[in-house]
């Protein structure tokens, strides 16, 4: 029989991660929302294109672990605002290649600067080692399944 007193909500990783994620995204989110009316998925698409160059919707979805319908809608809105262009592939006409417009790149550049500042502000709350271990652990958790457990 399982002991009753074992479980601690404040140590439960999914809970702790969600709290930290929500909290740490808050201020930055505020910036791209208030300033550019962007949602989180739109921000992600913008950053993928800005950092990695031309990509397809599917490629971004795979890289960011985001569902294709969310990507589809984000792409639609970004194109509407002329932050990105959509170019049908010649060989496979199901595919579209996405790119930042100059306008999109300008927004990306500004947001990247703010993101870098924000990341630094967060990082300064932790020691060097803490930060290093944290990033490693998060990458492991983000990239893996625990396997069936129920």
Partner DNA sequence: CCCGGAAAGTTGTAACTGTAACAATATTCG
Partner DNA sequence: CGAATATTGTTACAGTTACAACTTTCCGGG
Binding positions for DNA, rule: CB under 7 A: 39-41, 56-59, 61, 67-73, 75-76, 91-96
69 binds, among a second copy, DNA, none (CB under 5 to 8 A by kind): DNA
Helix/strand/coil (H/E/C) assignment for every residue in the chain: CCCCCCCCHHHCHHHHHHHHHHHHHHHHHHHHHHHHCCCHHHHHHHHHHHHHCCEEHHHHHHHHCCCHHHHHHHHHHHHHCCCEEEEECCCCCCCEEEEECHHHHHHHHHHHHHHHHHHHHHHCCCCHHHHHHHHHHHHHHHHCCCCCCC
The residue (of 15 and 82) whose beta carbon lies closer to a second copy is 15
Q: Applying CB under 8 A, which of residues 2, 91, 92, 128 lies at the interface with a second copy?
A: 2
Residue 46 binds which one of a second copy, DNA, none, with CB within 5 to 8 A depending on kind? Answer: none
What are the tokens at 39?
Answer: 């949602």
126 is an interface residue for a second copy by CB under 8 A: yes
Tell me which residue of 21, 38, 125, 142 sits closest to 81, measured CA to CA: 38
Q: Taking CB under 8 A as the rule, does residue 95 contact a second copy?
A: no
146 binds, among a second copy, DNA, none (CB under 5 to 8 A by kind): a second copy
**CB 9 within 8 Å of CB 15:** yes
User: If contact means CB under 5 to 8 A according to the sort of partner, which of DNA, a second copy, none does residue 58 touch?
Assistant: DNA
Q: Is 102 in the site for a second copy (CB under 8 A)?
A: no
Residues in contact with a second copy by the rule CB under 8 A: 2, 6-7, 9-25, 27-28, 31, 40, 44, 47-48, 51, 65, 112-119, 121-123, 125-126, 129-131, 133-147, 149-150
């Amino acid at each position: 029989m399982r002991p009753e007193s074992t479980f601690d909500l404040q140590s439960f990783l999914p809970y702790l991660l969600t709290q930290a994620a929500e909290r740490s995204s808050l201020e930055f989110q505020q910036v791209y929302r208030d300033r550019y009316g962007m949602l989180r998925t739109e921000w992600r698409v913008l950053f993928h294109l800005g950092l990695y160059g031309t990509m397809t919707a599917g490629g971004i979805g795979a890289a960011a672990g985001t569902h294709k319908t969310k990507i589809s809608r984000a792409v639609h809105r970004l194109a509407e605002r002329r932050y990105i262009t959509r170019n049908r592939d010649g060989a496979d006409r199901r595919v579209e290649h996405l790119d930042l417009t100059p306008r999109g790149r300008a927004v990306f550049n500004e947001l990247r600067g703010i993101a870098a500042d924000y990341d630094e502000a967060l990082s300064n709350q932790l020691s060097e080692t803490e930060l290093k271990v944290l990033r490693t652990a998060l990458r492991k958790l983000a990239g893996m399944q625990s396997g069936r457990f129920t």
